[in-house]
Amino acid sequence: MFTKKLLPVLLFGIASLGFVSCSDSDDTTEPQNTEVDFTKGDFKQKVLVEDITSASCVWCPLGTIAIEGLEKSEYKDRVIGVGVHGDFNPSSVKDPFVLPGLSRLTSALKMSGWPHLSFNRNTAIKGTDFQNFIPETAFGKYTFSSTEFEKFQKKHKLLNEGSPIGIKIESNLTATSGKVDVSLKFSQNISQELKYVVYLLEDGLVFQQAQHNRLFGEQGNGGKWVMDFVHDHVVRATNDFLGQSIAADQTKSSNEYKTSVNLSYELKDLSKASVVVAVLDSKGNVLNVQKAKANTTQDYQMK
């Protein structure tokens, strides 16, 4: 049976935490340029939360619990969640939302287990650490805790006073293709190479999901399939998982950097689509991120 075969694989390596995934690397990210203070600036700073998930992974709905909890909390205006789908066990079901190039992202994130939540692509934060702010409140019941998230974000210095990078998003999208216009402003002379990632997301995608039947309080230790699971924040297209370069001479306070990205994809419902733009340093750490509904304009957001 699927559950008897799959569950021992998922449980391996995480017994000390009481949750599910393989152990992650303890490597830390390299320090950013000390001449630029990326924790201060004129623009509102937000955190990119990337949920590496799969329809065939019975513990992956833990990531859904975490992101949905954040979006209903007092932190909802400071975090932007995206769901990046992969194929954990395609022999049981092939996830229809997998995009080419995912392995480059999972390698950069030092991913070693499912599910994996990345915060601003900081590899010093283990992919399972998010489970600290969705404690088990009853037998098999996991619930978002604002108190625990506050401890988590302070420990990892996620929420900053501001950002020196402002992001403006405009888009002209159809159900199958479109263009995203990205504009950036800088309140400091950054004068170093940056990168930008564009994600096209879609909410409300119904597809089956493997689920451990203890995640939502049910009794028992087996797994089950939820045939009408609703997948939100699903990445449907990207310019490049690791980002495209912005030359150092374009990242000065006197300049407004502008670029356009053309994307091809297949959406189920354009009205449920949105665009996310993240700006990264040259090492791949996310410096700021913004989100806009499809075919709307999100102007620069001051702090």
pLDDT tens-digit readout, 235-258: 999 999 999 999 999 999 999 999
Q: Give me the domain span that covers residue 142.
A: 2-24+38-298
The answer to whether residue 32 is domain-embedded is no
Residue, of 23 and 173, whose pLDDT is higher: 173
Look at residues 34, 41, 6 and name the one whose alpha carbon lies nearest to residue 20: 6
One-letter amino acid for residue 196 of the chain: Y
The dihedral over CA atoms of 229, 23, 72, 203, expressed in degrees to the nearest 10, equals -40
Residue, of 130 and 15, whose pLDDT is higher: 130
Given a cut of 80, is residue 76 above it in pLDDT?
yes
The answer to whether residue 148 is domain-embedded is yes
Report yes or no: 212 and 59 within 8 Å, Cβ to Cβ.
Answer: yes
Given a cut of 80, is residue 8 above it in pLDDT?
no
pLDDT tens-digit readout, 181-217: 999 999 999 999 999 999 999 999 999 999 876 666 5
Domain count, the chain: 1
One-letter amino acid for residue 101 of the chain: G
The answer to whether residue 30 is domain-embedded is no
The answer to whether residue 303 is domain-embedded is no
Task: Please classify residue 281 by burial: count the beta carbons closer than 10 Å to its beta carbon, then call 0-12 exposed, 13-18 middle and 19+ buried.
Answer: buried
Given a cut of 50, is residue 29 above it in pLDDT?
no
Given a cut of 90, is residue 10 above it in pLDDT?
no
State residue 223's pLDDT score. 67
Q: In this structure, what CATH number is given to the domain that contains residue 226?
A: 2.60.40.10
The answer to whether residue 181 is domain-embedded is yes
Contacts 24+ apart (CB under 8 A), 250-256: 251/184, 251/186, 251/189, 251/190, 251/191, 251/192, 251/193, 251/194, 252/186, 252/189, 252/190, 252/191, 253/186, 253/187, 253/188, 253/189, 255/186, 256/183, 256/184, 256/185
One-letter amino acid for residue 25 of the chain: S
**What share of the chain has pLDDT > 90, as a percent?**
81
The answer to whether residue 134 is domain-embedded is yes
pLDDT tens-digit readout, 261-299: 999 999 999 999 999 999 999 999 999 999 999 999 999
- Which pTM was predicted? 0.87
